[in-house]
């Protein structure tokens, strides 16, 4: 039987290995650790990188928190009063070059003293400019991982990501999606290890997947118009994270550490009133692809 202690230890090791790999790929940037404690119980380590050669700002956070479950969360999940334990790794990276995409990953485990537990997480890509070859590579990688465990995972979790990473008030997706899953549990105890193995496979895929995009796109030339578009797309990222993201809301509702919760925000973002890019421009073509239910693998 896999325990919360084993899961916690693995998540903490995942954080370390990802930071090491990203530092090697970046070349100059280093993750600075920030150890913190949660007043209500537990804590974590936020590792933040600033002004690297490729990564302008990024965070790889590990947490293991526990305590009394807030009534707001009990009501939302329709659960009886019980203490909680939650652990996981959360990552967001914002690159310098507009042709390197933003990436996010979260893998997490949650259990209650009542015996209720589940796994959740996902990984999604937010290009400032959609490159169809990159999109195909990203989704094919995720499908391959999912298919190793269950052929139904990729289509189901891709749909979930399309619906979840959707900026409703803009009627556009945050990026090209990926996979998203939540409240995964098992009827038999031995199946819990199978779910954890799937979550581990997603976590282990993060570093090689993103370093592929870093190495492929970091030296592509760009001009000021591309940077300005990047800042606008970062603005959309901020809107989603602050208005719609459930992880942000959970962290704030459980009195988590604000700096760590909001480390996903970019270093600089802009908003322009009613900005409409010229037709047939790279920017307009990207907007046209920010839709749900695109088959990126066979596009």
Residues serving a catalytic function are: 104
∠ CA 256-23-268, nearest 5°, is 55
Q: Is the separation of the CB atoms in 85 and 4 below 8 Å?
A: yes
Which residues are paired to 109 by β-bridges? 87, 119
Alpha-carbon Rg for the chain, nearest whole angstrom, is 19
| Cα–Cα distance for residue pair 208/218, rounded to 1 Å | 15
Residue 192 main-chain phi, psi, to 5 deg = -60, -40
Instruction: For residue 184, give both structure tokens.
Output: 């995964």
Among the listed residues 159, 166, 210, the one whose alpha carbon sits nearest the alpha carbon of residue 181 = 159
- Sign of torsion over alpha carbons 245, 246, 248, 252: positive
Instruction: For residue 267, give both structure tokens.
Output: 């270093």
Q: Is the separation of the CB atoms in 215 and 94 below 8 Å?
A: no
- Sign of torsion over alpha carbons 60, 144, 99, 231: negative
The helix/strand/coil state of 36 is strand
| Cα–Cα distance for residue pair 239/256, rounded to 1 Å | 20
| Cα–Cα distance for residue pair 257/216, rounded to 1 Å | 35
């Amino acid at each position: 039987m896999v325990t919360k202690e084993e899961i916690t230890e693995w998540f903490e090791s995942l954080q370390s290995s990802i930071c090491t790999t990203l530092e090697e790929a970046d070349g100059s940037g280093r993750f600075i650790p920030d150890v913190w404690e949660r007043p209500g119980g537990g804590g974590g380590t936020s590792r933040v990188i600033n002004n690297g050669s490729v990564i302008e700002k990024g965070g790889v956070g590990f947490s293991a928190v526990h305590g009394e479950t807030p009534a707001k969360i009990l009501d939302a999940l329709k659960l009886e009063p019980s203490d909680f334990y939650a652990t996981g790794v959360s990552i967001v990276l914002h690159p310098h070059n507009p042709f390197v995409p933003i990436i996010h990953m979260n893998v997490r485990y949650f259990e209650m003293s009542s015996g209720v537990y589940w796994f959740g997480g996902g990984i999604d890509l937010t290009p400032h400019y959609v490159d169809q070859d990159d999109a195909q590579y990203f989704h094919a990688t995720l499908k391959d991982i999912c298919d190793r465990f269950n052929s139904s995972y990729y289509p189901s979790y891709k749909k979930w990501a399309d619906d979840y990473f959707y900026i409703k008030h803009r009627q556009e997706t945050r990026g090209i999606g990926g996979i998203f899953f939540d409240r995964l549990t098992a009827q038999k105890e031995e199946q819990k290890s199978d779910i954890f193995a799937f979550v581990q496979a997603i976590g282990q895929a993060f570093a090689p997947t993103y370093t592929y995009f870093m190495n492929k796109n970091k030296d592509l030339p760009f001009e000021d118009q591309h940077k300005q578009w990047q800042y606008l797309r970062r603005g959309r990222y901020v809107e989603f994270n602050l208005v719609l993201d459930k992880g942000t809301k959970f962290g704030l509702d459980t009195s988590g550490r604000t700096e760590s919760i909001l480390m996903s925000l970019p270093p600089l973002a802009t908003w322009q009133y009613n900005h409409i890019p010229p037709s047939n421009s790279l920017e307009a073509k990207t907007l046209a692809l920010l839709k749900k239910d695109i088959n990126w693998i066979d596009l």
